[in-house]
Amino acid sequence: MTALDRRLHAFRPDLASADLRGRVTASAFAEGRPARIASPVVDLRPEPRADSGIDTQLLHGATVRIFDEREGWAWLQADADGYVGYAPASALGAPEEATHVVVAQRSFVYRGADLRFPATQAHSMGATVRIVDETETRGTRYALFDTGEAMILDHLRPIGQLEADYVAVAERFEHAPYLWGGVSGFGIDCSGLVQLSMAMAGIPVLRDTDMQAASIGAALDIGTDLAGLRRGDLVFWKGHVAIMIDPASMIHASGHTMCVTREKLSDAVARIGHLYGGPTGFRRP
C-alpha cells in the first residue's frame, strides 16, 4: 500500500474511492458524487472540525468526489492528486466546465468590469474559473462571469495554455507567506510550491514531500560536494523540498524565513543540517 493509499484508508476505512478497489482492504467502496470547489481557497482537514489542522488546500474550480456529508462537513477526494479530507460543505458547488486559469499570484474579482468597483473575493494562481465574455473599460480588458462580476483578463489564460518553465513560476512566488498545508498565493508550503508550480506547467505531481521524493522524475546521484545539479532539479530533506534555480541556488517555501525565499544551497544544507540532517535525495523532473 502506498503512502497515498494509507492516508485515504486511514480517514474512513469504511469508504474508499473506486480506483483503489483491489489495492485497499475496506468493507465498502463508493464511487463518490462529483463536485467542485466554489470558494477561493478551501482547507482540507483530517477531521470534521474547524480547529483541526490543515493537511492541504484546494483552489477554486478544483474537481472533487464527495463520499460522505454530515453536520456541515463533506469527506471528499481531490481528483487532481487523490488527496482526501474534510471540507465545509458550504464551500462546494455543482460541477461546471472551467474556461480559464489564474496565472497571477493573486487576482481580485470585481463587482463589474471596473477596477474602481469593490472586490468581492480574490483568487490564487492555479484557480480555475468560467468566463462567458470579455469587455474593456478605460483601456483595461476584463473577463466576465455570468454573474456580471469581472477579473483582469491579463491575469487569466485559457485552460490548456501552459507555462514553459515551472521554476519561473516558483520564482513569481518569492516573498509569498509560508503556511503549513498551503497551496496558494495567500500562503504556501514547500511541497505546495512544487506542486502548484509544476501544475502550471502541465506536470501533475503528488502533494506531500515524501510522495514527491518517491515519484517525481528520476533520482540523481549527487555527492557531498553537491555538484551536478541544474535549474529545475529538486532537493529533498526529511519533510522538506526545494527547487534549484541554478547549479548553486534554490528557491523554497521556508519555515525559517516564513516566506518563499531564495537561498544558496550550501547555506541551506549547513543551516538545515544542524537541526534535521543533510539532504535525503535529489530528483530531476
CATH class of 3-93: mainly beta
Is pTM, for the whole model, over 0.85? yes
Average pLDDT over residues 9-30: 43
Q: For position 152, what pLDDT does the model report? A: 98
In the structure, what pLDDT confidence band is assigned to residue 227 with cuts at 50, 70 and 90?
A: very high
* Mean pLDDT of the chain, nearest integer: 91
122-154 pLDDT per residue, tens: 999 999 999 999 999 999 999 999 999 999 999
Q: For position 30, what pLDDT does the model report? A: 62
Q: Does domain 100-158 have CATH number 1.20.144?
A: no
**More confident call, 12 vs 217:** 217
Note the Cα 175 to chain centre separation in Å.
Answer: 17
100-158 shares the fold of 3-93: yes
Q: For position 275, what pLDDT does the model report? A: 86
52-63 pLDDT per residue, tens: 999 999 999 999
Average pLDDT over residues 62-76: 97
Strand partners, 157: 101
Domain ranges of the chain: 3-93, 100-158, 166-284
Q: For position 65, what pLDDT does the model report? A: 97
**More confident call, 143 vs 25:** 143
**Residue 12 pLDDT > 70, yes or no?**
no
**Residue 5 pLDDT > 60, yes or no?**
no
162-197 pLDDT per residue, tens: 999 999 999 999 999 999 999 999 999 999 999 999
Q: For position 100, what pLDDT does the model report? A: 98
166-284 CATH pick, 3.90.1720.10, 3.40.720.10, 3.30.450.20, 3.60.15.30: 3.90.1720.10
